[in-house]
Structure 1
Amino acid sequence: MKIRARIPAMNVALRKPMSLAEFLEWEKRQPIRYEFDGVAPQAMTGGTAGHADIQANLAAALRTRLRGKPCRFYGSDLKIQVAGDHIRYPDGIVVCTPVERTATIVHDPVVIFEVLSPSTASTDRIVKAREYQAKDSVQRYVMLEQDRVGATVYARAGDRWTFDILPDGAILAMPEIGVEFALAELYEGLVFEPRDDADDRPPGETVS
């Protein structure tokens, strides 16, 4: 996910909570995109080259495999409306129902992708996970690591959600859209610094 920052109160209109309708009308006049947390706009600022590469690889992988199928991949140009009248711009979504050519909001995404950034990881892992899980159409939420090959995947299983962590070498399977591929394909062209396993241990934990 690209870095977000809550915008400062710039005028009287932004010093009080905005309604969803007010936000959507206000956003039309802005030169950049904003998310909406139910209270105030949050500016979407630029990401890293690594983020852009992962997002581009994701688009290439899915558009190729979904060609000729009813589902379609969209990048972060389209927003979705989630619980609490929040507006989000995921890094990628798959939709399996028709989308009007002039649409700016997708109402029924099936699979949602976020590329994790240090500044937004907690929001993506907790806040957005809850928002996306509360949306009936969503069947899978995939969070892609940015500093290594890896993903965290939530999948709907009836009235509950399963949780899985995919390491390098894993296959990302998405049966709800009839697609699977090696997770490493999304990291093609990226080179990562060697990692010490200690990086993943909780603070204070040592190896015996």
Structure 2
Amino acid sequence: MSTQTAPKTTTAADYLAFERKSEEKHEFVNGQIRLMSGASRNHNRIAANIGTLLGVGLKGKPCEHFISDMRVKVASGGRYTYPDLSVVCGGPEFEDDVLDTLLNPNAIFEILSKSTAEYDRGDKFASYRNLPSLKEYLLVSQDAPQVEHFTRLDDGAWRFNPTEGLDSEVRLVTAEVVLTLRDIYDKVSFEGKEN
């Protein structure tokens, strides 16, 4: 693995060659390579909880989930991201035989932080909406038990379903999995209180 410095601007092919040798993760947006920052305890706990719930909920179904190390190619022009979690049903498609860049996620989860919330709700979601396979986008707060669930309708419009409170649940349409917020937020601390 390399710790080389990322070039300021590059092509998608150069980004992939660089990224596959890097010890750190980088997103690729508009010809720019962006270093990704580390995650908080709450972020990691939530991601682990959702991953576990998806693993159990998808058992025996023609779907699989990926954690944040699976890169997603969002645009042919070369936008690449690392969603916190993604789900694909009916078989994953990859960019090449390295099998590290997913092309057809059906659901994407992003765990919000103060530094990424605006990007995740704005530019990143706008970009994700261009993925024909994407049917669901879930933004998970790490500061309170809240999930913003967006579902693509048959006419291409997006429906917003906010969910709040530990006694609530989120139903994944694409994978027919129910996630309770109590399980998503197991062992997550809000303002110094353990749940």
2:79 aligned with 1:79, yes or no? no
Q: State the SS of the aligned residue for 1:177.
A: coil
Q: Deviations over 1:11-52 (max 9, x none)?
A: 8xx24x311111111112211111101221111221111110
Aligned to 1:156: 152
Aligned to 2:131: 135
Q: Work out the CA distance in 1 between the residues paired with 2:103 and 2:179.
A: 26
Aligned to 1:187: 185
Out of 148, 162, 169, the position equivalent to 1:171 is: 169
Amino acid at match of 2:45: D
2:121 aligned with 1:121, yes or no? no
Aligned Cα RMSD in Å?
A: 1.8
Q: 1:17-166 alignment to 2 at 5 Å?
A: 17-83=9-75, 84-99=77-92, 102-158=98-154, 159-166=156-163
Structure 1, unaligned stretches of length 5 or more?
Answer: 1-9, 195-208
Q: State the SS of the aligned residue for 1:109.
A: coil
Q: Work out the CA distance in 2 between the residues paired with 1:58 and 1:136.
A: 24
TM-score, normalised relative to structure 2: 0.87
Aligned residues of 1:19 and 1:38 also touching (Cα < 8 A): no
Q: Work out the CA distance in 2 between the residues paired with 1:63 and 1:29.
A: 29
* Structure 1, 178-187 or 133-142: larger mean CA deviation: 178-187
Which one has the largest radius of gyration? 1
Q: Deviations over 1:45-74 (max 9, x none)?
A: 211111100000000101001011100011
Q: Per-residue deviation at 1:88?
A: 0.4
Q: Work out the CA distance in 2 between the residues paired with 1:181 and 1:33.
A: 28
Amino acid at match of 2:65: F
Aligned residues of 1:18 and 1:38 also touching (Cα < 8 A): no
Q: State the SS of the aligned residue for 1:173.
A: strand
Aligned to 1:206: none
Aligned residues of 1:144 and 1:152 also touching (Cα < 8 A): yes
Q: Deviations over 1:89-130 (max 9, x none)?
A: 000000113347951001100000000010011000101111
Amino acid at match of 1:52: N
TM-score, normalised relative to structure 1: 0.82
Aligned residues of 1:36 and 1:87 also touching (Cα < 8 A): yes
Q: Work out the CA distance in 2 between the residues paired with 1:63 and 1:149.
A: 21
Q: Per-residue deviation at 1:184?
A: 2.2
Structure 2, unaligned stretches of length 5 or more?
Answer: none
Aligned residues of 2:86 and 2:107 also touching (Cα < 8 A): yes
